[in-house]
Each structure stands twice: as C-alpha cells, then as structure tokens.
C-alpha cells in the first residue's frame, strides 16, 4: 500500500470511531486544511532561518512531510524555548518540532511522539581550548564563563551541574554562537549534534569537545503536542512510515554534518 493510501486508511480508522463522541485535533486539522507547526527557527540542524528569513532544517522537511501526509497546507508558527509551554497552552500550534527533549514539566502538559534523534550534552569552545573543558569539574571553576540560551534543556543542564562557573544568559539563540566566536564566553554546553554543526560553520574557530562521548545521553528530538491521543497516534504512525520508506533517514542525511 502506498504511503498516501496508508495515511488515508489510518486517518479513517483513527477518526471514525471518535467522531461520534467529540471532535479530535486530527479532525480539526483536516477540516481547517492547515497544520500549524511550532518552530523556534534558531536550532541548527533542526530548524533555522537563513539570511533571507527562509526556514530550513530537518524539522522543516519533516513538517512538510507530515502536512503532505494529511493532505493539508503547512503553517509555520514561530515560537521560542522560553515561550514553548505557554504557546502550547494557548493553542498557538498543533505540534511543536525542532529538537525538543522530554522534561517533566512538558510531559505533564502534552504528549510526546516517539523519539526522532538521540544526542547528549557536550561543550563547544574556541579551537585550541578543548583540553581545558573536557570535564564538568574543569568547567565548573571560578572565572569560567559558560554561555547559554534561556528556557531550554541547556540552561537546565548548566544550572544542575555548575555552581562556581559563571552562567551567562544570551537571549537570542540565533546569535549565541556569534557571541561565543567573539569571545563573550569561554564555552557553551549544548547537544553534541549542534556542536558538530557549529564547528562546520566556524571551521578552525569553534571546536566541539568529545561529541562522541557527551556528558549524558538523551532522546533529543521528539515532537510535542496537546493531549490528543488520536493525533499523537497518527504522528507516530507517520514516523513509522518514514522509517519504512527511508524518507526520514534521507532527511537526516541531508542536514547532518
């Protein structure tokens, strides 16, 4: 069965029994003809805006695929790490993408898809300084400045593990690595996949520290939705189809360094 026919069959199977009781988010998306996807647009390689403002990345491609499977148009809703929860609460989008990890607060508010990508936290610093910051003990020293974007798991990690180092908040995640390049901080701790991407964008300037052996391991990329099990089941079946067809692997390969 082709992916389009499978999606239609799945949609009928999921929506049919529920329609007699209540309208699901899946019903509402199909009826409106639009899928609203929340993206921060500041987290390479998952979602980012280029110089012209065009949004690109792994989850831009994935969002287009999900909308296509539903037969609806795609509407990108810009969100931020600090407003992600409030945007979910106010129904600003149907699903959030872009490298989201599970936290207790997020889990209490919504449903997560199956994991899409695994990673872990590791430092990125100025090339030549890697030996200084190989462990949390050497990072957590007076005078060491660690830059972080507020409101996400990077800040949560820093505040849980660093007591002596200075944690420098940088509100604009799109320019945070420019600030690091300019010497406004000594390092940043973020997901290993992002350190590889930024090292490729700043060759010889920024270097990741042991990205193959991060400080922790987590299922990095999930898709986060309001509590509608029917829609969540559809999203997970769509992800399964992408794996079976090889489309997800092709999308990852297109954007991974």
CA dist list (Å): 206 to 6, 146, 191, 256: 45, 14, 15, 17
Set out the domains of the chain in order of their start, with CATH numbers: 3-118+218-255 (3.40.190.10), 121-208 (3.40.190.10)
pLDDT of residue 10: 54
pLDDT of residue 119: 82
Residue 32 CA to residue 71 CA, distance in Å, equals 11
Tens of pLDDT along 144-166?
A: 999 999 888 899 999 999 999 99
Q: Which two tokens stand for residue 127?
A: 């090339």
Dihedral (C-alpha) 198, 200, 202, 206: value to the nearest 10 degrees? 60
Q: pTM for the whole thing?
A: 0.71
Q: Assess contact for 119 and 226: CB atoms under 8 A.
A: no
Tens of pLDDT along 197-243?
A: 999 999 999 999 999 999 998 766 789 999 999 999 999 999 999 99
Tens of pLDDT along 17-50?
A: 544 457 899 999 999 999 999 999 988 899 998 8
* Element of type H or E holding 105: helix 104-109
Short-list 53, 20, 64, 23, CA closest to 231 = 23
């Amino acid at each position: 069965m082709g992916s389009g026919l499978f999606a239609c069959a799945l949609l009928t199977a999921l929506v049919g029994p529920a329609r007699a009781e209540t309208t699901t988010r899946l019903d509402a998306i199909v009826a409106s003809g639009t899928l609203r996807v929340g993206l921060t647009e500041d987290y390479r390689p998952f979602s980012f805006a280029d110089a012209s403002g065009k949004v690109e990345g792994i989850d831009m491609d994935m969002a287009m695929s999900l909308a296509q499977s539903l037969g609806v148009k795609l509407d990108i809703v810009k969100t931020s790490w600090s407003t992600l929860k409030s945007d979910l609460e106010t129904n600003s989008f149907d699903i959030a993408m872009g490298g989201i990890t599970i936290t207790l607060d997020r889990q209490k508010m919504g449903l997560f898809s199956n994991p899409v990508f695994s990673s872990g936290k590791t430092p990125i610093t100025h090339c030549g300084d890697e030996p200084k910051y190989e462990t949390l003990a050497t990072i957590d020293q007076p005078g060491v400045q660690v830059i972080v974007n507020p409101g996400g798991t990077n800040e949560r990690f820093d505040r849980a593990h660093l007591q002596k180092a200075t944690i420098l908040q940088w509100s604009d995640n799109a320019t945070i690595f420019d600030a690091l390049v300019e010497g406004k901080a000594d390092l940043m701790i973020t997901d290993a996949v992002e350190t590889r991407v930024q090292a490729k964008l700043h060759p010889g300037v920024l270097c990741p520290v042991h990205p193959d052996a991060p400080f922790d391991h987590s299922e990095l990329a999930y898709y986060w939705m309001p509590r509608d099990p029917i829609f969540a089941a559809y999203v997970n079946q769509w992800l399964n189809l992408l794996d079976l067809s090889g489309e997800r692997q092709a999308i990852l390969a297109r954007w991974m360094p």
